[in-house]
Structure 1
């Protein structure tokens, strides 16, 4: 008679089951740790990129503003946390400067492209206090440079009178807007405008929008510092500034330093 082969099913023993559970736990722990480290690494990289981007935006904003500054108009406050300047909006050449005691206009070459400009007129401000509008002096009251064929007549607004103390060797004059100021307060960077000409830096700055604008946040308090090397007739001026940006999540800090050349054109 032929025999029958009997196969008995065999399951896992308790020891084998425990070993499998332990191995799975080890693998799961390693996997979770790997995913956590990878995620934290991605978050840290993103935070550093965000700080770097914020630092670049701040540096570029300040640099562009100062490149438009009237040479000699840049000044800082005592602790270097604020910088003030007068933006140049137009440059042209005058044909004559009146010599009478109360001039209210002068003739000039028109701007290219038929443009016009309004603001204060500055003639050869080197060695002068550009934050004083006394007559005679380098800075005039508000004036209008109209469009038109040469010559055009630059007229002081409201019938005002002004005499310029010094002539320019190149007969050059600037049309400027009222001063701007950038200051750090706490962790914020603010930009101020439309507050008029003040005797000292940050003396009477606006407290609300729209004349006070937020430029950036997350700065390390007290980290912003401006230093100015004034221009001379032989070289341009240089503004150096440094600041620190801090991550709110990790507390990491990115330090930035920058220099801006202010072109010197008599």
Structure 2
């Protein structure tokens, strides 16, 4: 009869050591693969957040009234006046107490409410003095041409200058983007102020959080104002940090502000 032969202690130890080595390599490989997947997902999420922030700022600024953009001293805040509608006037307010003027109606029979701006170049748009380029609140009604644009509450206003194209803008109250800590805020409905970010709302709904996870003090705005020969340009840059990995993505963007007298 043949002799039964089992494992020796040395062979058993060698098998255990080899299995331990294979297990260690496998666990390390799985850990690296998992970490790589987490890192890739974090980078994609961070890049997507950066694109959303950049696009939101760009779209908002493209609707700005030419000449209304201004930046605070350290570049952390930018303010602008959104354009609601554009039309042509037939005459500017006249008389001792001018409270209305005639204009072409908006296409599609729409109406619009807001301040009226006529040729604000070379003037401060953050002053509602009369005569001046920015009027009190007014209403552009619907109807057949011509329609009568009236200042709300019977207010009076004279415009300091005429537009070469007899064009006027209807604008909303100013808005502001500001970074505070790691958050980007949008402010609205705070009225016209003499300087940027002088007295901004502190609570909802006039203060809205647009983004988080920004690197503190990384957001910076720079504005090149428009002239009669070229459009204005706003450039901004910021950094987004991942909460999981601590990695940082840097973004730089330019927005053209079309110059339409």
Equivalent residue of 1:233, what SS? coil
Partner of 1:122: 117
Q: Deviations over 1:196-252 (max 9, x none)?
A: 000000011000000000000011111110000000011000000000111112111
Name the counterpart of 1:197: 192
Equivalent residue of 2:127, what SS? coil
Backbone CA RMSD of aligned residues = 0.7
One of 143, 147, 153 as aligned partner of 1:148: 143
Partner of 1:21: 16
Query: 1:58-77 alignment to 2 at 5 Å?
Result: 58-77=53-72
Question: Is residue 2:79 matched to residue 1:95?
Answer: no
The 3-state SS of whatever aligns with 1:127 is coil
TM-score in terms of structure 1 length: 0.97
Partner of residue 49, structure 1: 44
Deviations 1:161-198 (A, max 9, x none): 00000000000000000000000000000000000000
The partner residue of 2:247 within 239, 252, 256 is: 252
Structure 1 residue corresponding to 2:238, chosen from 212, 226, 243: 243
The answer to whether the 8 A contact 2:93-2:157 is kept is: no
Distance in structure 1 (CA, Å) of the matches to 2:92 and 2:174: 25
Structure 1 segment 214-225 matched on structure 2, within 5 A: 214-225=209-220
Note the residue ranges of structure 2 that are not aligned, 5 or more in a row.
Answer: none
Whole-angstrom distance in 2 between the partners of 1:264 and 1:78: 24
Which structure has the larger Rg over C-alpha atoms? 1
Q: Does 1:158 align with 2:153?
A: yes
Determine the C-alpha separation between the residues in 1 that align with 2:16 and 2:251: 52
Contact 2:175/2:186 (8 A) holds in 1: yes
TM, length-normalised to structure 2 = 0.99
Does the 8 A contact of 1:241 with 1:258 survive in 2? yes
Moved more, 65-74 or 38-47: 38-47
- The reply on whether 1:186 has 2:181 as its aligned counterpart is yes
Runs of 4+ in 1 over 3 A off after TM superposition: none
Aligned to 2:74: 79
SS in 1 for 2:161: coil
CA–CA separation in structure 2 for the residues paired with 1:180 and 1:233: 25
**Does 2:208 align with 1:213?**
yes
* Matches of 1:120 and 1:163, distance apart in 2: 13
Corresponding residue for residue 106 of structure 2: 111
Aligned-partner Cα distance in 1 for 2:94–2:107: 27
8 Å contact from structure 1 (residues 101, 163) kept in 2: no
For residues 50-103 of structure 1, give each alpha carbon's deviation from its aligned partner in whole angstroms, at most 9, with x where no partner exists: 110110011001000000000000000000000000000000000111332321
What is the alpha-carbon distance in structure 2 between the residues aligned to residue 243 and residue 67 of structure 1?
Answer: 19
